[in-house]
Amino acid sequence: MAAPSLTEELTNTATALFEASFGPSDGCAVVFAPGRVNLIGEHTDYNGGFVMPLALGKKTVVVGRGSMVPREKAGSAGCRIISSAAPEVVSFKADQDLQPGKVEWANYIKGVVAAFRKDVPEGYELSFDAAIASNVPLGGGLSSSAALEVSMATLLEEITGVRVGGVDKALRCQWSDHNFMGIPCGIMDQFVSALAVAGTTLLVDCRTNAFETVPLDDSGVVFVVTNTGIRHRNASGAYGERVQQCKDAVEAIKKRHPEVEQLRDASLAWVLEVKDEVDEKVFKRARHVVSEDRRTLCCAMALRRKDYGIVGGCMTESHTSLRDDYEVSIKELDLLVSIAMGTDGVYGSRMTGGGFGGCTVTLVKAEAAEALMTKLREEYLAETGNACECVVTSPCDGAGVLVPLRRPLFKNTALRIAASVALVACAVSAVVAASRGRGSCGVRAHGHVA
Number of H helices, E strands in the chain: 12, 12
Looking at residue 175, its pLDDT comes to: 96
Q: What is the distance between the alpha carbons of residues 110 and 122, in angstroms, rounded to a whole number?
A: 19
Q: What is the distance between the alpha carbons of residues 250 and 245, in angstroms, rounded to a whole number?
A: 9
The answer to whether residue 45 is domain-embedded is no
Statement to judge: residues 254 and 198 lie in one domain: no
Looking at residue 443, its pLDDT comes to: 36
Is residue 230 within 8 Å of residue 68, measured between CB atoms?
no
The answer to whether residue 46 is domain-embedded is no
Looking at residue 392, its pLDDT comes to: 95
- In the predicted model, residues of the chain with pLDDT beneath 70 are 1-4, 74-76, 233-236, 407-450
Looking at residue 72, its pLDDT comes to: 76
Buried b (16+ CB within 10 A) or exposed e, 360-386: bbbbbbeebbeebbebbbebbeeebee
Statement to judge: residues 141 and 224 lie in one domain: no
Strand-pairing partners, residue 92, are: 79
Statement to judge: residues 333 and 407 lie in one domain: no
The answer to whether residue 258 is domain-embedded is yes
Statement to judge: residues 249 and 307 lie in one domain: yes
The answer to whether residue 299 is domain-embedded is yes
The answer to whether residue 144 is domain-embedded is yes
Is residue 436 within 8 Å of residue 445, measured between CB atoms?
yes
Is residue 116 within 8 Å of residue 160, measured between CB atoms?
yes
| Angle of CA points 421, 427, 429, to nearest 5° | 105
Statement to judge: residues 387 and 402 lie in one domain: no
189 is catalytic: yes
Q: What CATH number is attached to the domain comprising 158?
A: 3.30.230.10
Looking at residue 412, its pLDDT comes to: 53
Burial class (CB in 10 A: 0-12, 13-18, 19+), 257: middle
Parallel/antiparallel/unpaired status of strands 389-393 and 221-227: antiparallel
Looking at residue 35, its pLDDT comes to: 96
Alpha helices, DSSP H only, in 127-223?
144-160, 166-176, 188-195
Statement to judge: residues 308 and 371 lie in one domain: yes
Q: What is the distance between the alpha carbons of residues 200 and 216, in angstroms, rounded to a whole number?
A: 5
Is residue 75 helix, strand or coil? coil
Looking at residue 429, its pLDDT comes to: 59
Statement to judge: residues 274 and 351 lie in one domain: yes
Statement to judge: residues 294 and 160 lie in one domain: no
**Catalytic residue, candidates 45, 168, 189, 325:** 189
Q: What CATH number is attached to the domain comprising 372?
A: 3.30.70.890
Q: Which helix (H) or strand (E) holds 261?
A: none
The answer to whether residue 418 is domain-embedded is yes
The answer to whether residue 442 is domain-embedded is no
Structure confidence by residue, pLDDT tens digits, 156-174 = 999 999 999 999 999 999 9
Statement to judge: residues 287 and 372 lie in one domain: yes
Q: What is the distance between the alpha carbons of residues 88 and 85, in angstroms, rounded to a whole number?
A: 9
Statement to judge: residues 185 and 311 lie in one domain: no
What is the tally of structural domains in the chain?
Answer: 2
**Half-sphere exposure for 52 (CA within 13 Å, toward CB):** 29
Statement to judge: residues 339 and 319 lie in one domain: yes
Parallel/antiparallel/unpaired status of strands 359-365 and 50-70: unpaired
Statement to judge: residues 289 and 428 lie in one domain: no
The answer to whether residue 253 is domain-embedded is yes
Domain range enclosing 109: 6-38+53-213+397-434
Q: What is the distance between the alpha carbons of residues 232 and 356, in angstroms, rounded to a whole number?
A: 5
Is residue 140 within 8 Å of residue 358, measured between CB atoms?
yes
Structure confidence by residue, pLDDT tens digits, 269-284 = 999 999 999 999 999 9
Please state the pTM of the whole predicted model: 0.84
Looking at residue 141, its pLDDT comes to: 80
Q: What is the distance between the alpha carbons of residues 115 and 171, in angstroms, rounded to a whole number?
A: 9
Q: What is the distance between the alpha carbons of residues 309 and 302, in angstroms, rounded to a whole number?
A: 9
Looking at residue 424, its pLDDT comes to: 59
Burial class (CB in 10 A: 0-12, 13-18, 19+), 201: buried
